[in-house]
Structure 1
Amino acid sequence: MIKRLADGRWLADVEPVKGSRYRKRFTTKADAVLFEAQKRAEHSDGNKRPKQDKRSLSQLADRWYQLHGHTLTDGQRRREIVKLHAQELGDPVASQLTAKAYLLTRGQLLSDGTAGKTLNNRLGYLKAVFNSLIAFDDIAMKNPLSNVKPLRLQESPVTFLTSDQIGALLTAVTATRSPDDLACVVRVCLSTGARWSEALSLTKDRVKGGAVEFVNTKSKRVRVVPVSPDLEKRLRLHLDNHGYFSNCIRGFHQALNAAEIDLPKGQATHVLRHTFAAHFVMNGGNILVLQKILGHSTINMTMRYAHLAPDHLREAVTFNPLRQLFDTTNKNSP
């Protein structure tokens, strides 16, 4: 509707679709008519304004899994973590989430005892959900967490078993309820640096030619790692008789307790992978070769073991000022 006002100006009062009303005053009638036409054109078929996205964070997690998450080895796990984090945040409408609201909740979770590494993982997964759905043109919003940085954490030392602890663990393994399965899996992890799940998934056709072949790995790449003739024979004998390895995780925990091996929270089976890598480097193994054996996509992950090399930063001992002073004093002594 276009009408003239008492002050001589023209009012454009337009409601092209129910619920969307526009009112504006103009000096001339022509401008008011043009404004009305523009607003009606914006709401004509094919040019409808998009409705506001009312989906919650947990719904975006499900959508992400439908479009992309199902292609990842750990996609299901990631979806559940994002949905858990969404509940911690109050599962808000995704388009209404702000960085400030996220940071306030993260601070509270940290105060309540949630580990910083856990929070960083959840932030990374949630960011990835937004980034993926934006890239797929499934959501029309900016990533509200794009400027939120991970927490800076104190680096923790690598935990690995000593030679004595390895011997005690292997002895304790024989006393468990499933000694044959457990002994094979533990030896595979200690001999190849395999993850527990990778060792469990070995089948007869993947143990051959003096090596074991790991598939369905975290990096999606096949890894082939040589093993000793004795271990190959033991693995083939077990797989010939049983066809697979049972999930003997309970027996492993029992063996750790029997061997009186106390590990940091969350380590458990992963200590076997750390133990292989640590002893590989301490015995003079090449860090680049270790990267390939472990299947790390970048050298950064492997470098955490570099300090264990026999000659790592040995110059710190040779060239430090106290050493130089000590040598000079000895030379000047009668």
Structure 2
Amino acid sequence: MARPIKHGQKWRIRWIDEKGERRSAVYDTRPLAMRAQRAREHEVDEVKQGLRAPAPPDMKFTDLEDYWIKHRVPQKRSGQNDISIIKKHLHPAFRNRRLRDLGVHAVDALVATLATKHRKTVANVLTLLISMLNAAVELGWLLKAPRIRKPKVKTADADFRYLRTKEQLALFLGAARSEGDHIHALYATAIHTGLRAGELAALRWDDVDFSRRIITVSKSFDGPTKSGVVRHVPLVDALLPTLAAWKLRGPGVRLFTSERGTMLGKSARPFQEVLHRVLKGAGIAEVERNGKMVRAITFHGLRHTFASHWVMAGGDIFKLQRILGHQSVAMTMRYAHLAPDAFAGDLARFGPAQGTGPGVVIELPRRTG
């Protein structure tokens, strides 16, 4: 067996792999180098005897990054999110490390850098890392992906922001009208259909059937809808006059466009700064969230507003699932507690009230001193 040799302040090992090619590696201490030498030579013997699969090529994480961005990102609707996560979190953590060296310790070190991030952010980063490492296995660049535990994140969080009362709705739409009929029509459509911003931007008059009172939703900003499924949304009474009047004034192909007549982009003013002005004009105050004061809603909050008022008005939760385009009813169930009779059938589930008569609640004086 060959022995490690001194290499500066470290120790180098050399061996010949199963293909007959010379290989080398450097370690911090002689004992580590000795163990690695024995392990490498033992692996080569097992491969030659057919007891072990050949070692994968020495690919680095940067090679995997390049492959993912070139081949996988273009296939994904969330491709830009992948690029952002890679640049912000994965590349700084792994850089030029070999894929075979990305074990539990390396992943734990990554998670430690995300300690101050929201659990969902951590889950998103680890989900992408798992997918990328599984791709490396498929490519033969890695024998086995390390086991990675993601933090549990609720499928649907009931702590969402929406316009809670009919009075708020009226104030909001009244303030929207002061920004122009196009803003009023856009916001009214968002509130009464639950469409996402991208779906509203891609909506065409051909998608609106006034006779059947149906809106067909098939596209978003950059392609299909989030779920990739075409769905049909009812054109409700509250929205019908607004859309009918807007059609008379909007002869273009799309319902809502920029001032130049182009398709609204993700950062278009109606989705951000105009919304902020409308909230302020409606007198809808900021709310506290995670210790900070934030605006009462984002544009996506109009989608939550539609769903919440649908349920509060007694609408069917399974119809709502189809209208919103949720693949799982678990996402839609976040609104279920808003149903007016949500617990009406449960009040007597343990039998009638016990005792001889109705109870009386009295306020006891507080003890002082």
Q: TM-score, normalised by structure 2?
A: 0.67
Change (3 A) 1:213 1:152: closer
Q: Quote the Cα distance in structure 2 between the aligned partners of 1:127 and 1:237.
A: 51
1:329 aligns to 2:356 (yes or no): yes
Q: How does 1:63-74 map to 2 (within 5 A)?
A: 63-74=67-78
Letter in 2 for 1:68: R
Matched, 1:237 2:240: no
Deviation at 1:217, TM superposition (A): 0.7
How far did residue 87 of structure 1 move?
Answer: 3.8
Unaligned runs of 5+ in 2: 1-14, 25-40, 219-223, 259-267, 361-369
Alignment of 1:212-291 (within 5 A): 212-215=215-218, 216-228=224-236, 229-241=240-252, 243=254, 244-246=256-258, 247=268, 248-249=270-271, 250-261=273-284, 262=286, 264=289, 267-291=297-321
2:101 to 93, 96, 99: 96
Q: Once the two structures are superposed, what CA deviation does each residue of 1:65-91 show, in whole Å capped at 9, x if it has no partner?
A: 433332222222223223322145253
2-structure distance, mates of 1:276, 1:332: 40
| 1:119 and 2:101 correspond | no
Alignment coverage as a number of residue pairs: 292
AA aligned opposite 2:119:
G
* 1:80-229 correspondence runs (5 A): 80-91=84-95, 93=97, 94-110=99-115, 113-135=116-138, 137=139, 139-144=141-146, 146-151=147-152, 155-161=157-163, 162-176=165-179, 179-209=180-210, 210-215=213-218, 216-228=224-236, 229=240
How many Å separate the matches in 2 of 1:281 and 1:293? 12
Do the aligned partners of 1:172 and 1:256 also contact (CA within 8 Å) in 2? yes
Q: Matched residues in 2 for 1:75 and 1:202: separation?
A: 23
Q: CA deviation at 1:251?
A: 0.8
Q: Normalising by the residue count of structure 1, what TM-score does the alignment of the two structures yield?
A: 0.74
Residues 45-65 of structure 1, C-alpha deviation per residue, up to 9 Å, x if partnerless? xx9864211233xx5344224
SS of the counterpart of 2:353? helix
Distance change >3 Å, CA 66–CA 253, structure 1 → 2: same
Q: Quick check: which has more Rg, 1 or 2?
A: 1
Pairing 1:54–2:60 present: yes
8 Å CA contact retained: 1:65, 1:76: no
Looking at structure 1, the residues matched to 315 and 23 of structure 2 have their Cα atoms a distance apart, in angstroms, of 70
For 1:126 and 1:14, the matched residues in 2 are separated by: 32
Do the aligned partners of 1:208 and 1:232 also contact (CA within 8 Å) in 2? no
SS in 2 for 1:102: helix
**How far apart are the structure 1 equivalents of 2:56 and 2:124?**
33
Shift of 1:286: 0.9
C-alpha distance in 2 between matches for 1:269 and 1:304? 18
| 1:189 and 1:272 in contact (8 A); partners too | yes
